[in-house]
């Protein structure tokens, strides 16, 4: 399968505009001569993004996507979704399951989005996902999750997944939504872990330019569709002018974890990413301090480092 580069000249123009005035060695890797028209599901809305251990019977996952392709989604023959259960609780053994096909949708299941693209809204109940993967809800612990993976199959025989999609398309700018995890977790109230926080480094920044996440005051906000995720607008790599990035974290009962993100730039393929580090202990009743670890992968720039930051409520 070939690597998806981009699907329209409009997107190319946006990315080229984004790179203006910055060091060309860190610019987006998409260029006109390497562009290929592919397809990807773009996240329109995350409606409900977690499974509630306290109320499994009423808990469900739901999202809306629209299909970005040369033919506005009309050439999408199938939208396949696979799922597996990952058991992260060492106290009850490893009950993880192998991946299985959960649902397959075709043109008859799609509707028109607000942008006149073909798309779909999916709803998966906690009880159904557990049953079909062969897992008892009684055996599911906080921190366990269901890992979902999707594939777009086009009418010309090509297939696109996260594995053959450029990292730029997976960035916040384009919101490609191929793979996602649904955590079994403890919901948070909307008035906790929000507001202004200052950032300071405990370890790092360790990249070659000594400029990782910008240490500044940021505003933590709710993430639509999730009670346990929070996000803020950050800036990375100030040595080259700074690149905006949306940073999310997920609170899972007694821990918090940085979620993978990236600014969509690099020295060449693959782009720079800021992946999840180890989960950090967190008292979810005390929002005065948050500690996050992230793993910075320089991709084509040829470096890696792990940084740890502290967010202090102001």
Of all residues in the chain, the percent with pLDDT exceeding 70 is 88
| Lowest model confidence (mean pLDDT) among 26-40, 81-95, 156-170, 260-274 | 26-40
- Distant-in-sequence, close-in-space partners of 268: CB < 8 Å, separation ≥ 6: 29, 299, 300, 301
Q: What is the pLDDT of residue 173?
A: 76
What is the pLDDT averaged over residues 231-255? 94
Instruction: Please check the confidence at residue 131 and state whether its pLDDT lies above 50.
Output: yes
Domains and CATH numbers, the chain: 9-185 (2.60.40.10), 195-313 (2.40.128)
What is the pLDDT averaged over residues 91-99? 89
Please give the mean pLDDT across all residues of the chain: 87
Instruction: Please check the confidence at residue 36 and state whether its pLDDT lies above 60.
Output: no
Distance CA 231, CA 229 (A): 7
Q: What is the pLDDT of residue 143?
A: 86
Give the highest mean pLDDT range of 48-52, 137-141, 151-155, 186-190: 151-155
């Amino acid at each position: 399968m070939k690597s998806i580069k981009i699907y329209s000249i409009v997107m190319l123009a946006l990315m080229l505009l984004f790179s203006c005035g910055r060091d060309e060695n860190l610019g987006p890797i998409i260029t006109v001569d390497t562009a290929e028209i592919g397809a990807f599901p773009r996240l329109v809305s995350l409606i409900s993004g977690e499974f509630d251990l306290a109320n499994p019977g009423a808990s469900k996952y739901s999202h809306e996507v629209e299909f970005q392709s040369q033919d506005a989604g009309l050439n999408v023959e199938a939208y396949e979704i696979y799922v597996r259960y990952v058991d992260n609780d060492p106290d009850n053994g490893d009950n993880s399951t192998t991946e299985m096909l959960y649902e397959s949708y075709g043109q008859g299941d799609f509707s028109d989005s607000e942008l006149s693209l073909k798309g779909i809204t999916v709803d998966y109940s906690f009880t159904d996902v557990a049953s079909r993967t062969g897992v008892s809800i009684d055996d599911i612990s906080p921190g366990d999750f269901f890992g979902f993976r999707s594939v777009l199959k086009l009418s010309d025989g090509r297939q696109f997944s996260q594995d053959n999609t450029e990292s730029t398309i997976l960035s916040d700018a384009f919101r490609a939504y191929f793979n996602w995890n649904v955590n079994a977790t403890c919901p948070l109230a909307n008035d906790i872990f929000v507001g202004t926080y200052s950032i300071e480094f405990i370890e790092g920044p360790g990249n070659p330019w000594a400029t990782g996440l910008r240490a500044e005051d940021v505003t933590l906000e709710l993430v639509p569709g999730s009670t346990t995720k929070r996000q803020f607008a950050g800036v990375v790599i100030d040595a080259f002018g700074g690149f905006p990035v949306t940073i999310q974290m997920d609170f899972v009962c007694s821990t918090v974890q940085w979620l993978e993100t990236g600014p969509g730039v690099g020295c060449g393929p693959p782009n720079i990413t800021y992946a999840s580090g180890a989960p950090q202990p967190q008292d979810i009743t005390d929002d005065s301090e948050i500690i996050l670890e992230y793993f910075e992968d320089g991709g084509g720039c040829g470096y890696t480092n792990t940084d740890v930051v502290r967010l202090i409520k102001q």
